[in-house]
Amino acid sequence: GAVVSQHPSWVICKSGTSVKIECRSLDFQATTMFWYRQFPKQSLMLMATSNEGSKATYEQGVEKDKFLINHASLTLSTLTVTSAHPEDSSFYICSARNERFPPYGYTFGSGTRLTVV
């Protein structure tokens, strides 16, 4: 079946530094990927839609310059949290639209726990 690999699974960084999170679709190509953020005891909040070869589409209220998304290939999208601050600490999850393997639909990565100190 379709698998989405997310790396790293957790990261701790200092305030003011940037962190890159990778999301890879294994065994299938994903022209569209999605990035979510989840705070403790809350639901997933969609941050942006990542489109291969074009600019990402951000949801209202999400800072484009803060959360840089690159989708340079059909199997890889990256999210870079720039100049991270403690309030950016969260669980970040990516998802890829799978049209190759049943069940067709949306496959999620295992998430990245970001802690900014």
Partner 1 sequence: DAKTTQPTSMDCAEGRAANLPCNHSTISGNEYVYWYRQIHSQGPQYIIHGLKNNETNEMASLIITEDRKSSTLILPHATLRDTAVYYCIVRFGSGNTGKLIFGQGTTLQVKP
Considering only residues 74 to 103 of the shown chain, the ones binding partner 1 according to CB under 8 A are: 91, 93, 95, 97, 103
Q: Which of 12, 26, 101, 105 binds partner 1 (CB under 8 A)?
A: 105
Stretch that binds partner 1, among 11-19, 38-46, 61-69, 78-86 (CB under 8 A): 38-46
* Contact string 15-34 vs partner 1 (x = CB under 8 A): ----------------xx-x
Cβ–Cβ < 8 Å for 109, 95 = yes
Considering only residues 51 to 70 of the shown chain, the ones binding partner 1 according to CB under 8 A are: none
Cα–Cα distance for residue pair 75/23, rounded to 1 Å: 8
Q: Which is nearer to partner 1, 18 or 104 (CB)?
A: 104
Contacts of 91 (CB under 8 A, 6+ apart): 37, 38, 39, 111, 112, 113, 114
3-state secondary structure of 35: strand
Cα–Cα distance for residue pair 74/10, rounded to 1 Å: 24
Q: Which is nearer to partner 1, 17 or 100 (CB)?
A: 100
Cα–Cα distance for residue pair 19/80, rounded to 1 Å: 5
Q: What is the binding site for partner 1 (CB under 8 A)? A: 4, 6, 31-32, 34, 36, 43-46, 49, 91, 93, 95, 97, 103, 105-111, 113
